[in-house]
């Protein structure tokens, strides 16, 4: 039962992650947003958060806490993605990945509260390890990210020194042993 719940939670979050990654990829190719678009995006994020929290208030117990953490995490990720669209750059891509990792960790941590006994410790340890791996991956991707704008000037082609013509009458040197 524990493994089934954990696998289901991981599968659902992985699906959300894939959709958000696709949105992130398309967001990085979009030019900067205007101030009006930024305000509209901020209002959309706030409205979506309020609607999700209203839904969460209908739930009870730990399911409510899980729902609230998921709503807060989704809001943080959406805000980070909005900032990425506004300003771009490797630092904001890192912030999006970090916000996503924190949201996943907090939801997983709340899900662990449904469990009993040793399973709680194992679940929380697994959630923390997944969070640390996601943080590390975000840092690696930040370092590997190409610069947004190249400051290099065009390079001149290499000049090769002229070579002497091959003389077919010259003897070859003996092979080295």
Q: Pseudo-torsion of CA 94, 100, 106, 111, nearest 10°?
A: -150
Of residues 54 and 170, the one with the higher pLDDT is 54
More confident residue, 112 or 156: 112
Residue-level pLDDT at 28: 44
- The per-residue DSSP string of 95-108 comes to HHHHHHHHHHHHHH
Q: Is 143's pLDDT higher than 90?
A: no
User: Is the model more confident about 33 or about 141?
Assistant: 141
pLDDT for residue 73? 94
pLDDT tens per residue, range 13-34: 544 444 444 444 444 444 567 8
Separation CA 117–CA 64 (nearest Å): 22
For residue 60, what pLDDT is reported?
93
Q: What is the DSSP letter of 174?
A: P
| pLDDT, position 6 | 45
Structure confidence at residue 160 (pLDDT): 64
Instruction: Return the pLDDT at 129.
Output: 93
pLDDT value, residue 144? 73
Q: Which of 10, 19, 22 is nearest to 105 (CA)?
A: 10
* Interval 99-135: pLDDT, tens: 999 999 999 999 998 899 899 999 999 999 999 999 8
Predicted pLDDT of residue 154:
60
Tens digit of pLDDT for each residue in 41-96?
999 999 999 999 999 999 999 999 999 999 999 999 999 999 988 888 888 888 99
State the pLDDT at residue 91. 85
**Chain centre distance of CA 33:** 21
Checking if the pLDDT of 149 tops 60, the result is no
Where does residue 8 rank: exposed (0-12), middle (13-18), buried (19+ CB within 10 A)? Answer: exposed
- Domain borders along the chain are 2-7+34-144
């Amino acid at each position: 039962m524990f493994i089934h719940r954990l696998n289901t939670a991981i599968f659902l979050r992985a699906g959300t992650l894939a959709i958000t990654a696709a949105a992130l990829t398309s967001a990085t190719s979009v030019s900067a947003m205007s101030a009006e678009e930024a305000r509209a995006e901020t209002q959309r994020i706030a409205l979506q958060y309020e609607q999700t929290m209203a839904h969460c208030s209908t739930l009870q117990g730990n399911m409510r806490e899980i729902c609230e953490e998921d709503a807060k995490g989704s809001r943080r990720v959406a805000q980070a993605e909005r900032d990425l669209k506004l300003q771009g750059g490797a630092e904001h891509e890192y912030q999006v990945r970090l916000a996503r990792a924190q949201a996943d960790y907090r939801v997983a941590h709340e899900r662990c509260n449904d469990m009993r006994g040793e399973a709680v410790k194992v679940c929380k340890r697994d959630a923390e390890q997944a969070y640390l791996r996601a943080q590390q991956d975000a840092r690696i991707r930040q370092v590997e990210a190409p610069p947004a704008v190249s400051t290099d000037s065009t390079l001149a082609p290499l000049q090769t020194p002229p070579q002497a013509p091959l003389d077919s009458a010259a003897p070859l040197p003996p092979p080295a042993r």
